[in-house]
Amino acid sequence: SSFDRSCVDGAEDAALSARRGQSMSVKPLVVLADSHSLCPAYRTIGDRLLVSMLVTGLKHYHLRPGCAFYPRAHFDRLAARLPEGIDVIVGFGEIDCREGLLVAVEKARHASLKDAIEATVAHYVRTLVRLCRKKAWTVYVHPIPPVLKETRAVVLAYNKELARQISMAPSCAPGKLSWLDGCVDSWLSGGELRPDLNLDGTHMHPRCLREVDASLLRL
């Protein structure tokens, strides 16, 4: 769509300007994610401008080999158009935790929730490793937001496995793949999402960027 083209063109212009050393008040940091990319969009972390690249409805499961579902095609198109050598925060997986994983177990596609999580995370990590190698991206993996009480236990288990597989991922050179560690623990209080971070019952308030910024500084 024309909206997609304008968004990508804007991100390309900002990223390419930064790489060429042209004058900018802030450096772009692309947020390639589902609807959770919108809340922090066009805010800043330090000297970084968060540029939202929205892929509506993408599940980690859609990143499996051979999938041609339209959110996957949208993801592939945006990834292909973004420049090489940029920094990207990726944030997908909430939909898997909300509906995909349990449905897959109910339909006997996996023997257990644990097996479903491991297999689905692997599709995501393999995709990110491939993009880091091909595009020389520095990728920061955003934890799945633990907003919904009903799915929080699944989200926490999923984030744990996601962090584990990222830590064991093969070399991504010339790119780099990192987990934004420490965010989830700071977002929760007594096992519940901090009230100041609950935006609308589904998404997190942009205040969550404080923890994202702290995690980036530790890397």
DSSP 70-107: HHHHHHHHHHHHSPTT-EEEEE--HHIIIIIHHHHHHT
Give the whole-angstrom CA distance, residue 147 versus residue 152: 7
Integer angstrom CA distances of residue 157 from 113, 163, 165, 174: 10, 10, 13, 30
Residue 8: pLDDT over 80:
no
Per DSSP (E only), the strands in 92-169 are: 138-141
Q: What is the pLDDT of residue 12?
A: 54
Residue range 104-144, pLDDT digits in tens: 888 888 999 999 999 999 999 999 999 999 999 999 999 99
Give the whole-angstrom CA distance, residue 30 versus residue 90: 8
Residue range 133-180, pLDDT digits in tens: 999 999 999 999 999 999 999 999 999 999 999 999 999 999 999 999
**Residue 55, by phi and psi: left (phi above 0), alpha (psi -120 to 50) or beta?**
beta
**What residue has token string 């984030």?**
159
Q: What is the pLDDT of residue 10?
A: 52
Question: Taking Cα atoms as reference points, which of 11, 149, 140 lies closest to residue 80?
Answer: 11
Q: What is the pLDDT of residue 69?
A: 95
Q: What is the pLDDT of residue 46?
A: 87
Q: What is the pLDDT of residue 27?
A: 81
Residue 20: pLDDT over 80:
no
Give the whole-angstrom CA distance, residue 30 versus residue 11: 7
User: What is the pLDDT averaged over residues 73-97?
Assistant: 96
Residue range 183-213, pLDDT digits in tens: 999 999 999 999 999 999 999 999 999 999 9
Residue type at 140?
Y
Q: What is the pLDDT of residue 100?
A: 86
Contact 174, 130 (CB under 8 A): no
Give the whole-angstrom CA distance, residue 70 versus residue 87: 25
- Looking at the chain, the whole-number percentage of residues with pLDDT higher than 70 is 89
The model's pTM: 0.88
